[in-house]
Structure formats: structure tokens, C-alpha cells
A and B are shown apart, each in its own frame.
Chain A
């Protein structure tokens, strides 16, 4: 893996953002591996008759708890070694079914100064192979000024 690149407040443009992070196609093996890693055995992710016949779902579902990881990874990698992902929120508005390839995305909607670092607001989400959005949300990432110090770690949020 290449060393992560630092991101500076001055270099961020409204409307820009991280490159899409693609994951998939997400098979039953991916879902089972995730269920085992977090020890959550909700059957709608691996028991097809239960998902479709008992819970009336269209197919096995990709876990929301897995999808959220993709958005966080997208932002973490973009913030780089001297930034920090402060806040992220999202709604699981649509189901994603096993077999789909998902892409986490982010787009900068605003920039504002913070205490010794800059704050960048983004719209975020996850689209499927057809470009359908399933997980719209918002995020705020803290990044250093060029020539300034790294964002404090542990993170110290701005006083509201």
C-alpha cells in the first residue's frame, strides 16, 4: 500500500472530494465473513428462505453495518495521516442485495475554519451497480492548514 497522502484545507475545492471507493461484487461469503467478524447472526444476511419467506425481503441483504464501513473508510483514507473524520451520518433508505457492487462516494459542500484546523462538510452516500443511491448522508472532516499542525489526536472538536 502506498503511503497515505496528506490533505490540506487550502487544496480542497467545493464540489470535489474523494475518489469513489468500490466494493464488490459482495457475495454471500463477504456477508458471512462480516457476520462472523462482528458476531452478529441476523439471518436476513445468510439464510435466504428466512429472508424471503419469513421477513418478506427481496433477497439476502448486504448489512447496513458493513455498508457504513465503506463510507468511513472512504473518508478516513481521504483525510489522510494528518486529518480526522469527525462526524458522519447516513440513512439506509434502500436495501442492497447480495451480488451487488457498491461504491461509496463523497462530495465537498462547504469549508469553514476550526480551532487550528479546517472543517470540511461533505455529502456522502453509496450507489449500486445501476447508480441508485441507498445510503445518503453527511460528514464533517477536520484537516490541517498547509504549513500548520496536524489535527489534534485525540480529536478536540470545536466549541459550539
Chain B
């Protein structure tokens, strides 16, 4: 029996607008991120010798992929779902600028993996844009039952419009 609604397949190919991350690369956000991943590389700090090659202090390689955040004034999913025991805590940012796939609402979400290409680090203070696309939505049979695979491709670009990071993520919905 298929668990993938036909209506969900209509999202394949849907591309988001180019979205500007609500904050530029903030020094404090970089520090918290570097401490959380336990990679306190001096290139993320103000040390001039360490970051000379990069033209200034930079953010960790995957930092741009986590810059799609909820801007001030946008709906607050945590408060909106405060009385919903089924709310999983995930907000709209998981779709990287794309609209949520309505027919899959309520299904649990797991991270299935990624393919990532790196071109440049984001510099402190730099504005980053993201554009994403639902590349594929398919169903797969596993030993634990059917799952839905949602593939999202995202391009993260710096202030010069050039690519920083290209990511192809697979989300598992079941």
C-alpha cells in the first residue's frame, strides 16, 4: 500500500524565491555555533594570521546551511502549537525557504543524509541568500515499512552572489 499521496508529488520541481537570511553572519552566532560543534578553529575568530587566506574571519563550513531562521514578526510555531501534543518542534525553516508539503503534514521527519559541495566560507558580517527546490519526492519500501524520501536542493550564496555551499538533503518522512 502506498503512503505517498499523489498531491505531494506535485511539489516536485517547486523552487523557492531567493531568500535573504534574516541576519547576516553574526560574530556571536558563529561563536555559539563553533562551540556547539566543538570546532574552535582560529579562522572563526579575529586572529589575523589564521584567516588571512579568507579575507577576514569566517564562519564554519556548514554555517550558511543553518542561516534560514525565523525573522522577527513571522509566526511563532512553538507558541502556536503550545497545546498540541503532536507538535514535533520543527518550524518552517526545515524546508529551507520552500513551503511545507501540506499532504505530508503530521508525518515524522528524520534526516536521511546529504551531498554537499563547498566553494567559499561565509565571512563575518556577510549577507547570505538561499534558493531551494524540491528535487524529488519518492516512496521506498524498507524492512520497517514504507518511507517517503523528500530531496531538497539548496544553493547558498554570499554577498557577491557567488556560491558558498551547494547542498542536496534527503529527509525521511514516515
Contacts and interface: CB of A to CB of B under 8 A. Distances in A.
A and B are interacting partners:
yes
Given A90-B113, A137-B113, A38 B66 contact: yes
B142 to A, nearest CB: 11
Interface stretch (B10-18, B34-42, B97-105, B131-139): B34-42
Given A37-B33, A73-B37, A81 B53 contact: yes
A47 interface: yes
Interface of A: 1, 23, 30, 33-34, 36-44, 47, 50, 54-55, 63-66, 68-70, 72-73, 76-77, 81-82, 84-92, 135, 137, 150, 153-155, 157
B69 A43 contact: no
Interface in B22-62: 29, 32-33, 35-42, 53-54, 60-62
Given A69-B60, A86-B117, A88-B116, A47 B40 contact: no
Given A42-B88, A42-B94, 14 more contacts: A36-B32, A36-B36, A39-B66, A40-B90, A42-B109, A43-B87, A55-B88, A64-B111, A72-B116, A84-B118, A86-B118, A87-B117, A89-B115, A155-B120
Given A65-B66, A65-B111, A69-B60, A155 B118 contact: yes
A50 B86 CA distance: 8
B89 interface: yes
Contacts of A87: 115-118
B139 to A, nearest CB: 17
B73 interface: no
Contacts of B85: 54
B8 interface: no
Nearest to B37: A69
10 contacts: A1-B42, A36-B36, A39-B69, A43-B87, A44-B88, A64-B110, A73-B39, A86-B118, A90-B114, A155-B120
Nearest to B158: A154
Contact of A47 (B89, B109, B110): B89
B48 to A, nearest CB: 14
B82 to A, nearest CB: 12
Contacts of B87: 43
Contacts of B9: none
Contact of A63 (B39, B111, B113): B111
B39 A69 contact: yes
Given A38-B66, A41-B89, A47-B89, A89 B36 contact: no
Given A69-B37, A76-B61, A91-B113, A55 B118 contact: no
Contacts of A135: 113
A72 B90 contact: no
Contacts of A41: 78, 89-91
Contacts of B170: 91
Contact of A85 (B37, B69, B91, B118): B118
